[in-house]
Amino acid sequence: MKNKKILITGAAGFIGSAFVRLIAGKYAASDIVVVDKLTYAGDLKRLEPVKGKFKFYKTDICNKKQIDRIFAQEKPDTVLHFAAESHVDRSITNPTVFIETNIKGTQILMDAARKYGVKKFIFISTDEVYGEIANGKFNEKSQIKPNSPYSASKAAADLLVQAYIRTYRFPAVIIRPSNNYGPWQYPEKLLPLAILRILGGGKIPVYGRGINVREWLYVEDCVRGVLLVLQKGKIGEAYNLGSSCESRNIDTVKLLLKTLNAAPDRFEFVKDRLGHDIRYSLDSGRIRKELGWRPRFKLVQGLKSTVDWSLKHENWLKSKLKDINKLYK
Ligand code: NAD
Ligand code: TDX
């Protein structure tokens, strides 16, 4: 199938904007339709490099009427659904908006997609839907067993997508990426927050004893995987998307300090996150074998590239400080 007209939700966010920067210019501007509410996490500055190469609607995906109107007007054949409330710590303080956007918003989009005959609907899920794993790896058939309000809301949406596939033969594909990092990430997440703290003369807060393990995927590798799924992914299937670059938080932070040429003791152990998942780890053999995807960035290179970008965009990171200090007061 040719993807002629693509509607992308959440494209003013971190990963969605990287995807638009990747495909902009490969399609006519009128064939890339961006839908984003511009919450605290959305920022059109991320799309400035490709300004004029897409069409933008400032819309809440939970607004059924507006979503319906956009689908009626644009008639996309492909939908890429990135929009979500994405931060675990915020979901612990206020789960309500996570239930609204992540679950209800996904349903509203799928209903519009069914009504207007969308041919391929790609749902960006997460590795967190499987819950934590002390040893071994999750494959696409592993049980969905989320632990945080954020991951439970993503799991509910993931299951709803699966239910639509089975019940209505809805043409969806699910992607479950691991922890992304790279340019333009909102500095509430570990790595950009850590960089912001070091640039501001402070220390990096490490939850608990820093022994939790994450699988770090450079955002450009992630969106190349998403593009492959868009072009060749099988309808009705799910694809894990992980780098195999696993690292304990304390080791990740120490490597980042080295990359920043900062003193190795510029971190502090702080109160642990409630219900903190110990380890995520994906078996991404399927997307590698079936679609030929390979990550290009190891953690060392990805961190170097992220730090270089951050030093050039210090003002952008610092523009989020007020919000961050409110979040982590
Ligand atoms: P982000 O928080 O940076 O961006 C989310 C975007 O969605 C923002 O532009 C925001 O304005 C928009 N949005 C939020 N609520 C909306 C609503 N109701 N209507 C319309 N737009 C809305 O998130 P991200 O890190 O880019 O993540 C993108 C997707 O990838 C999410 O679905 C997330 O669950 C998933 N994911 C993220 C990671 C990661 O490490 N960041 C890893 C795996 C999966
Ligand atoms: O200040 C911090 N100190 C710290 O030790 C923060 C913000 C985080 N952490 C720890 C918690 C995690 O073990 O670092 C690890 C990474 O934390 P986050 O950056 O908040 O990411 P995580 O909770 O792992 O979830 C991310 O990956 C999966 C994304 O935020 C999700 O959207 C995605 O689905």
Q: What is the pLDDT of residues 254-269, one digit of tens each?
A: 999 999 999 999 999 9
- From 82, 100, 130, the mutation candidate for ligand 1 (largest count of ligand atoms within 8 A of CB) is 82
CATH no., domain 187-214+245-278+298-320: 3.90.25.10
Tokens describing residue 23: 């495909």
Tell me if 124 CB under 6 Å of ligand 1: yes
Query: Do 22 and 223 touch, CB atoms closer than 8 A?
Result: yes
First to last CA, the chain: 50
Q: For residue 109, which amino acid is it? A: L
CATH architecture, range 6-180+217-241: 3-Layer(aba) Sandwich (3.40)
Per-residue confidence (pLDDT) for residue 290, from 0 to 100: 98
Active site amino acids: 127-128, 150
Q: Length of the chain, please?
A: 329
190 CA to centre of ligand 2 in angstroms: 5
CA distance 159 to 245: 27
84 CA to centre of ligand 1 in angstroms: 4
Query: Do 306 and 298 touch, CB atoms closer than 8 A?
Result: no
Q: Which ligand gives the minimal distance to the CA of 271? A: 2
Sign of the Cα torsion 173, 179, 183, 189 reads positive
Per-residue confidence (pLDDT) for residue 1, from 0 to 100: 46
Q: Where are the domains of the chain?
A: 6-180+217-241, 187-214+245-278+298-320
Per-residue confidence (pLDDT) for residue 222, from 0 to 100: 98
> Which pLDDT tens digit goes with each residue over 279-329?
999 999 999 999 999 999 999 999 999 999 999 999 999 999 999 999 998
Give me the residues of the chain with pLDDT under 50, please.
1
| 6-180+217-241 and 187-214+245-278+298-320: identical CATH topology | no
Per-residue confidence (pLDDT) for residue 329, from 0 to 100: 85
